[in-house]
Amino acid sequence: MSFQTTDLCDANEEAITAGRLRILAPILRHYGGRKRFAGPATTLKVFEDNSFVRKMLEQPGYGRVLVIEGAGSLRCALLGDQLAEMAVRNTWAGVVVHGCIRDSLAIATLDLGVMALATHPQKSVKRNVGEIDVTISFGGVRIQPGEWVYADEDGILVSESALD
């Protein structure tokens, strides 16, 4: 991918002012081997349970970005190396986690964009509870299913539509 979020911001100032292009607060760190990724968002809302993360990543990603609202929990991980490897096999562009991941050394070797708050060694519980393709909000930004996510070394943008 050849975009830069800085250039996208400069070229779309009107969209930022109008709220069609939103900039996530700089609260997430890069963990995946792919530092620049983009695609339409598939959203999840979960809390300390990654059952739905698995359900989504075992499906074809078609270049989408899975955006997980994990309520910012720092008590367990919602993504590990096995799920990240599944995401690569199923052609997901990236995973954005408002929560923690684990197996960060292995995830760093994968051709997958992964951004999260932090790492945590403990796995999540499996209660099979969550919501798929709902509007979520974190980092000062609302994210709806199908909106475009652009992430690179400088930040994360969310756009109502694909940007040139």
Show the 3-state SS of 50-116.
Answer: CHHHHHHHCCCCCCCEEEEECCCCCCCEEECHHHHHHHHHCCCCEEEEEEEECCHHHHCCCCCEEEE
The predicted pLDDT at position 164 comes to 79
Residue count of the chain, please give it. Answer: 164
- Residue 133 parent element (H or E): none
CATH number, domain with residue 42: 3.50.30.40
Name the domain count of the chain: 1
**Rounded Cα distance, 43 and 131, in Å:** 8
> Does residue 45 fall inside a structural domain?
yes
- Domain holding 74, by residue range, is 5-159
The predicted pLDDT at position 46 comes to 98
Q: Tens place of pLDDT for every residue, the chain, 164 residues?
A: 789 999 999 999 999 999 999 999 999 999 999 999 999 999 999 999 999 999 999 999 999 999 999 999 999 999 999 999 999 999 999 999 999 999 999 999 999 999 999 999 999 999 999 999 999 999 999 999 999 999 999 999 999 999 97
The predicted pLDDT at position 103 comes to 98
pTM of the model: 0.97
> Does residue 129 fall inside a structural domain?
yes
